[in-house]
Chain A
Amino acid sequence: MGESNEDIDQMFSNLLGEMDLLTQSLGVDILPPPDPKPPRAEFNYSVGFKDLNESLNALEDQDLDALMADLVADISEAEQRTIQAQKESPQKQPPSASLCVPSFSDTASLGYGANVAAPSQYDDDLPPPPADPMLDLPLPPPPPGPISQEEEEAQAKADKIKLALEKLKEAKVKKLVVKILMNDNSSKSLMVDERQLARDVLDNLFEKTHCDCNVDWCLYEIYPELQIERFFEDHENVVEILSDWTRDTENKLLFLEKEEKYAVFKNPQNFYLDNKGKKENKETNEKMNAKNKESLLEESFCGTSVIVPELEGALYLKEDGKKSWKRRYFLLRASGIYYVPKGKTKTSRDLACFIQFENVNIYYGIQCKMKYKAPTDYCFVLKHPQIQKESQYIKYLCCDDARALSQWVTGIRIAKYGKTLYDNYQRAMARAGLASRWTNLGTVNAAPPAPPSTGVKTGTTQANGQLPQATQSMNTALGEDWRQLETTKDKKPGPGLGSHDPGAPRAQPLPKSSLPPPPPPVRRSSDVGGGSPGTPPKAKGAAARFPAPPDDFLPPPPPPPPPLQDDELPPPPPDFNDAPPDFVPPPPPSFAEDLPPPPPPPPALAPESVRTPPVVVKRPPPPPKRQENPGPPGGGGGEQDFMSDLMKALQKKRGNVS
């Protein structure tokens, strides 16, 4: 136990250091993000806390757990990535046994701080030598490596980085805590960072809910006031959307299945071959076989340009500001919705433009019959995403029947989003496929590496449900710049610090060769190499999954365990049952192979018994972190508070401090 505590301490301190580093780059002054716009979410559904305590208190137990798990997941992931030489650390009080503190290079965790509250944002400068003042841990600096050319280069780079970070001062990563309603009336709180797409959030939710991951799952926004709702497209940026909500909004975000989301890809014939309800056609449609569907999709979505379904017909249009509806003949074209002015024909030259899609989103109108005296309840609504109140700029249209409604909505989505929709679908399919395979295989086996799916950011490494969600946030491809920054941050700080700080040897690569990995690792690698059957399943799985991530690459997959446990109390994967419920991170053994010197996860691995006492398990994570940031002096204060608060809160709830 003592040992484990030490480790934990160390991890913790590392974490703090890391956070400091990160936040620093983010700029301290972010406190309350100055936002001219209506502040983002509120409490009920999404929270931007002003202060840590508030936020912690505000969260329900389960939410808290979830958050914690989130955090841990991020951390451990990062940690894995950075596995390197390990050092000993002084110990501190072990917070909660389960907590393993990894490095924080992940944006996700970062963001948390940034948006949320002052405490989380720390600023400090890179240059400062290591030594995390705040923490009592004296980090023993790792043995200085010999200076080499590499080092010089590293130094040059480090300078650049310093510069970059300075510039970054004001940049901020927004992060929201969002409350998402489940279909069983429960809710989950989730941290969403400003780079996450709906897809990432969905993946995240998949992890947490153990649902079937099929393609119909979506994030669904509801505007009770306007009585409109829609699902997010997978490529949409969640934080951006939520930022449009007003502070006092009643809008809700749901996680549910909607068949309409990808109906067009499941039965394209209903949208592309529908000849205005000729029976004969209907029959054929039902019969369309898979191959024909595929070729129809190919034809429609894979050409030089996407084909928008031909769609025209009479719809009712709500007149501005009135509750009266006018029937007009509308046509859908790739460039917008048009109508036929009175007395004209429906040839292109006579058409008048009703609306173009650039600045509007499409929503379903709910109970418009009641609210606006619509002729039917099959309404769709077009409005600028920022509009939140009744306005003449919101357009209401009403179809005769459900089929027409679904065709119009889908047609408009195709016109608006084009091929992106199809890409989204393929990603979703890939994700769903993985999930099902995973279940088939059973948790124990490692799923085969995820087939590369089309999207860049596809399900990446998460072959199984178990992979920590943290990864996702990493993959999110948001702003390029950001990405780059991040990566640089991730890898470069190491060297930079190293140069400044004698304590830190060189950059990561070095350790491999120069530092003899501590004894334990050896064992481990042999284990893995041998592929001894005895190896804990998880480890194996992980190994299989991540063949050989270059170490400087984004994140080596986080150790599987933490993610699972995130939400509900401890829904630990089966194997871990015996371990304490919380976050017992199974040793990240798998990486040993490819990654540089595996952190010496001493005892843990050795026994092969993953499930052995938690203590063992905990250890491995800590080491890596360190290296990256030998404690930055500046900032820890806030962080520490934050972490300890968090832990305290957690402990209080759990009462399970070791």
Chain B
Amino acid sequence: MAGMKTATGDYIDSSWELRVFIGEEDPEAESLTLRVTGESHIGGVLLKIVEEIKRKQDWSDHAIWWEQKRQWLLQTHWTLDKYGILADARLFFGPQHRPVILRLPNRRALRLRASFSQPLFQAMVAICRLLSIRHPEEMSLLRAPEKEKKKKKEKEPEEEVYDLTKVVLVGGVAPASFRGMPAHFSDSAQTEACYHMLSRPQPPPDPLLLQRLPRPSSLLDKTQLHSRWLDSSRCLMQQGIKAGDTLWLRFKYYSFFDLDPKTDPVRLTQLYEQARWDLLLEEIDCTEEEMMVFAALQYHINKLSQSGEVDEPAGTDSGLDDLDLALSNLEVKLEGSAPTDMLVRSGSSQGLGPRKLTLKGYRQHWVVFKETTLSYYKSQDEAPGEPIQQLNLKGCEVVPDVNVSGQKFCIKLLVPSPEGMSEIYLRCQDEQQYARWMAGCRLASKGRTMADSSYSSEVQAILAFLSLQRTGGGGGGSGNHPQGPDASAEGLNPYGLVAPRFQRKFKAKQLTPRILEAHQNVAQLSLSEAQLRFIQAWQSLPDFGISYVVVRFKGSRKDEILGIANNRLIRIDLSVGDVVKTWRFSNMRQWNVNWDIRQVAIEFDEHINVAFSCVSASCRIVHEYIGGYIFLSTRERARGEELDEDLFLQLTGGHEAF
């Protein structure tokens, strides 16, 4: 049709030349010129381009990107006129899916193809499907932070980038599972490794690295991150992302729906990783006691994931039928009492514990441990008689007091009694004895006896700990600076498990016993239970799930911080960090954004109006956060996995304004 000309070569129809570059936005790209008219449909133009190129290739993913307008020409039935394209338009004929490198919550890099033409929300759905993460609406992408100019080219160790660009997902159906992983991962060893990376927790980071990584030192620093979120309602291309760019993949909304260890191994793991890094990098603060629990859980999780016990549900002997189970339980209940002798130094009752590492205060007794009761006698001969004291350890607190290099193996017992607590210290001769008694005490404190089936494994675990303390944990002297990664692969390097401020505060050998002590409470958890526990503890922190933005409230002269959580907005004093005011979403009537003056106005019940302009992040980020949380709160279990994308975009988008 277009391109009729006279004998002299003049075109006699209204056709004109349209130049199209082939490939991605690249000024050097080859181009070809087509003759078109304003009436030409985009579809026709595409066809022509492909013909002209004369290359055999699957062009189905290609589409035209209009550079000046920053827009994809995806409506193939539209005409050029309708799009308003004239001869001066710079058009690029390129693939809609392009590779990007995602920095996952576990800090590993993964290359995959993401849609550059769909709104990010849809692109995320596809990405999460590929990674087999449910509930993509909770996640989003951030721009990678600007690299600080490298001082004297530090050799950055070549990092392994996992590659999923070749994996193609068939649309529609949920990926079937095959050999314990979604089928599309099982194609090659490579992708399988990739799945393992996704679904298994990573080992603790090198403490040195941990110290080097930037950590927020104030609330203000914590706002930085949130200025980098990409816009969910626009596509990557429109947001200036190029093929091969690095983006961060993170859980953006702290409202985790229906977290299920069974169906969500990747999601659970990545969430755990994000929580872990949050804590290690001090994005969120916790107390010392809490940190020890987090460290113990990390240690435990790492141990399980290294040993490959991926998801053995702990402690379900499903094989046994009722009776057998009953019998085995019985067995456990009945037999246990093992009189053993040991050296006891008892500084009983008033908490006058013996000084460390000295034998002072300890006196030797003959101690009998039967069921859950500890009795001690002057000597073995008197054992059948009245004991000097008898303590039922049920409900007691058992604290290890061990220094392996010093060959000190003490057990401190805090035994409750009607009169108060009795403190008693048992000093064991060697590791073996210590392990057995320690295990007995721990079981007894839970009301179980040494006949319990877990006794021997408990003993083993304690012995293993002792050997750990010998290797890791700065058994030597230099406890003051973190040991490098060399602290033996299996050894416990406590510095990789705690935030750097604890590295400064404690020596490794102080840290190790505390972590191990906390570990005893979680030692029975399976991998996914432990991860879940970690996540729950993280969620229980008072500052959990708050995203910070610097704003200026209407009528105020100074910048303040706005905290956005899944159920409320918090006004926070910038300098002190105190909460000034909290508004809950449940009381919110409506919110509006004035895009011109970059102001967000919110109306709450009872005519409370709040307005602020955004300083540290664009107001569309704030807007999307609020809308996103509202959207997430509309999810219901009953509705399954389907997402109401329109609603999301409606709540978070600002299309009209653009």
Contact = CB atoms under 8 A, between A and B. Distances in A.
A384 B330 contact: no
A387 B419 contact: yes
A391 B325 CA distance: 43
Contacts of B501: 349
B162 to A, nearest CB: 28
Interface stretch (A333-341, A369-377, A533-541, A622-630): A333-341
A36 B373 contact: yes
Given A386-B417, A392-B420, A488 B287 contact: no
B586 A484 contact: no
B543 interface: yes
A36 B390 contact: yes
Given A305-B540, A333-B540, A335-B540, A389 B392 contact: no
Contacts of B535: 304-305
Interface in B470-509: 501
A481 B418 contact: no
B419 A348 contact: no
Interface in B320-337: 322-327, 329-331, 333-334
B322 A348 contact: no
A349 B216 CA distance: 14
A590 B369 CA distance: 54
B352 to A, nearest CB: 13
Interface stretch (B75-83, B102-110, B288-296): B288-296
Interface string A270-309: 0001010000000010000000100110010001111110
B418 to A, nearest CB: 4
B330 A388 contact: no
Given A299-B567, A304-B259, A488-B323, A168 B330 contact: yes
A484 B325 contact: yes
B418 A388 contact: yes
Interface in A474-491: 481, 484-485, 487-488
A36 B392 contact: yes
A487 B322 CA distance: 9
A353 B289 contact: yes
B128 interface: no
A38 interface: yes
A640 B142 CA distance: 79
Interface in B300-324: 322-324
Interface residues of A, number: 58
B419 A164 contact: no
Contact of B334 (A170, A348, A349, A386): A170
A167 B334 contact: yes
Interface in B274-289: 285-289
Nearest to B418: A388
Contact of B420 (A168, A387, A487, A488): A387
Given A295-B586, A299-B567, A335 B420 contact: no
Contact of A387 (B285, B287, B417, B541): B417
A246 interface: yes
A62 interface: no
B582 A334 contact: no
Interface string B328-356: 01110110000000000000000000000
Given A359-B397, A391-B419, A275 B330 contact: no
Nearest to A303: B539
B542 interface: yes
A304 to B, nearest CB: 5
Contact of B582 (A167, A275, A303, A307): A275
A353 B287 contact: yes
B421 interface: yes
A157 B321 CA distance: 11
B577 interface: yes
A384 B540 contact: no
Q: Which of A170, A335, A487 has the largest count of B CB atoms less than 10 A from its CB?
A: A335
B638 to A, nearest CB: 14
Contacts of B417: 386-387
B416 interface: yes
Interface in A103-135: none
Q: Which of B286, B287, B537, B539 has the largest count of A CB atoms less than 10 A from its CB?
A: B287
Given A164-B330, A387-B416, A304 B256 contact: yes
Contacts of A492: 323
A310 interface: yes
Interface string B529-542: 00010011101111
Interface in A388-420: 388-394
Contact of A388 (B324, B333, B419): B419
Contacts of A385: 395, 416
A244 B587 CA distance: 47
Contacts of B324: 160
B287 A338 contact: yes
A367 interface: no
Q: Which of A164, A305, A392 has the largest count of B CB atoms less than 10 A from its CB?
A: A305
B606 interface: yes
A389 B416 CA distance: 11
Q: Which of B290, B501, B532 has the largest count of A CB atoms less than 10 A from its CB?
A: B290
A336 B567 CA distance: 24
B521 to A, nearest CB: 8
A304 B542 contact: no
A353 B472 CA distance: 28
Given A275-B582, A299-B567, A348 B285 contact: yes
A392 B419 CA distance: 10
Contacts of B420: 387, 389-394
Nearest to B332: A481
A161 interface: yes
A384 B395 contact: yes
A171 interface: yes
B69 interface: no
B489 to A, nearest CB: 31
A227 interface: no
B392 to A, nearest CB: 5
B622 to A, nearest CB: 22
A171 B542 contact: no
Given A36-B373, A171-B334, A384-B416, A308 B421 contact: no
Interface of B: 256, 259, 285-290, 293, 322-327, 329-331, 333-334, 373, 390, 392, 395, 397, 416-421, 501, 532, 535-537, 539-543, 567, 577, 582, 584, 586-587, 605-606
Which 6 pairs from chain A and chain B are nearest by CB?
A391-B420, A334-B540, A388-B418, A348-B285, A305-B536, A386-B416
Given A304-B259, A353-B289, A394-B420, 17 more contacts: A164-B323, A304-B256, A305-B535, A308-B540, A333-B287, A333-B540, A335-B290, A335-B293, A348-B285, A348-B287, A348-B542, A353-B287, A387-B419, A391-B420, A391-B421, A484-B323, A487-B322
5 contacts: A37-B392, A170-B334, A335-B293, A353-B289, A488-B326
